[in-house]
Amino acid sequence: MRLYADDRSAPARHEMTEPAGRVDLDSGSRLRWDALAGEWVVMAAHRLKRPFSGVTSVCPLCPGTGAECEIPGGAYDVAVFDNRYPALGAPGPRGAPPAAPEPFTDVPAAGVCEVVSFGSAHNTTLAEQPVRRVRTVIEAWADRTRALNSRPDVAQVVCFENHGAAVGASLAHPHGQIYGYPFVPPLLARGRDAARRARRAGGCLFCDTVAAEEVAAVRVVLAGRHWIAMVPYAARWPFEVHLFARRHVPDLPALDEEERAELALVYRSVLRRFAAVAETPLPYMALWAQAPARGGREADHLHARLFSTHGVDGRVKRLAAGELGTGAWVSEADPEAAAAALRAAIPSDRADVRRTAKHDR
């Protein structure tokens, strides 16, 4: 378990490390090769036994002393700990699964699953936290990305959040997760392939997209000195935002101080817009697309993808046989209208970001 304090000027970052003889949790999961899709599937049927909201009376992320408690002691700012019901992880030394598996290949599901608690307060959300707390979350993401990238059984670190019971979050306490996948997940791999092709042709797909979107302007939600948030051109969800670093950086650990400070503001601003744009706060999913642990990191361009399955009028984008069975997406999103709504949701925030809030560093 690791603790990260909002007060980074304090002499010691209050941090606890795992015991020296730490043994990786056995997730019990296997990877099976889906030869038709050309993808690994994590087989984790045993995870159906994990607790759901309401099953236990004690919140495991609230500070306390009981057996369910994950973070012993008093109030804390940000805590990262091993997921007690991991989807990934196998004991013993593990490397990457085979790169070109035969049909009917299965291997232990190596990797790691961690939980990031956004603070000791239960009845709140990350959007409602002060900017300095979001900054501490960013520090935790960057620190764990660096640490997990050094593991031989981790190919890709993904920091993500499922927010809201409507999108399946099993704990109400504000928290996210970090997965160290033993393979590069397919959607990220395809984005990477597209970026590499563009790079061979002399450009950066992401840098070029940022430049073109800034000219078009219609899909931009929020533009700072170091970050730009916009609804993607071919948005699939009622509300969807891509948050790009302006500098061509591979991952969160590569961000400098100024970039981290503004990211805290911009990231929170996007979350606040998701909370304000509809009558009730939107449930959402958010994740970071970072460079893989090894290999070809120079083509990657750090960005976050945030999206909500819910629209303003309570309509939910449901996936049917088309999307789930053939992959052909019929989007009911209106990207330009969604961007306008998100811009209008909190008009004052835009100026806040331009100021880059020195007081918040």
- Known binding positions for Zn(2+): 59, 62, 122, 173
- In angstroms, what is the minimal distance from the CB of 246 to a second copy? 17
Q: First-to-last CA distance in the chain?
A: 25
- The Cα–Cα gap between 134 and 189 comes to 28
- Cβ closer to a second copy: 58 or 319? 319
- Cβ closer to a second copy: 158 or 255? 158
Closest CA to 145 of 286, 252, 4: 252
Tokens 């990786």 sit on residue: 24
- In angstroms, what is the minimal distance from the CB of 290 to a second copy? 11
CB 240 within 8 A of CB 231: yes
Q: Which residues are annotated as a binding site?
A: 59, 62, 122, 173
The total number of residues written for the chain in this structure: 361
- Cβ closer to a second copy: 47 or 361? 47
- The Cα–Cα gap between 116 and 72 comes to 15
- Cβ closer to a second copy: 112 or 158? 158
DSSP 40-105: EEEE-GGGGGS--TTTSSS-TTSSB-STT-SSBSS--SEEEEE-SS-SS--SS---PPPSSPPTT-
- In angstroms, what is the minimal distance from the CB of 272 to a second copy? 19
Task: Name the residues annotated as catalytic.
Answer: 175
Closest CA to 75 of 59, 61, 55: 61
Closest CA to 296 of 227, 187, 208, 194: 194
DSSP 134-148: HHHHHHHHHHHHHHH
- In angstroms, what is the minimal distance from the CB of 164 to a second copy? 11
- State phi, psi for 252 to the nearest 5 degrees: -60, -40
- Cβ closer to a second copy: 16 or 216? 216
- In angstroms, what is the minimal distance from the CB of 116 to a second copy? 13
Question: How many CA atoms does the CB half-sphere of 40 hold within 13 Å?
Answer: 25
SS (H, E, C) 219-257: CEEEECCCEEEECCCCCCCCEEEEEEECCCCCCHHHCCH
- Cβ closer to a second copy: 16 or 212? 212
Element (H, E) at 161: strand 156-163
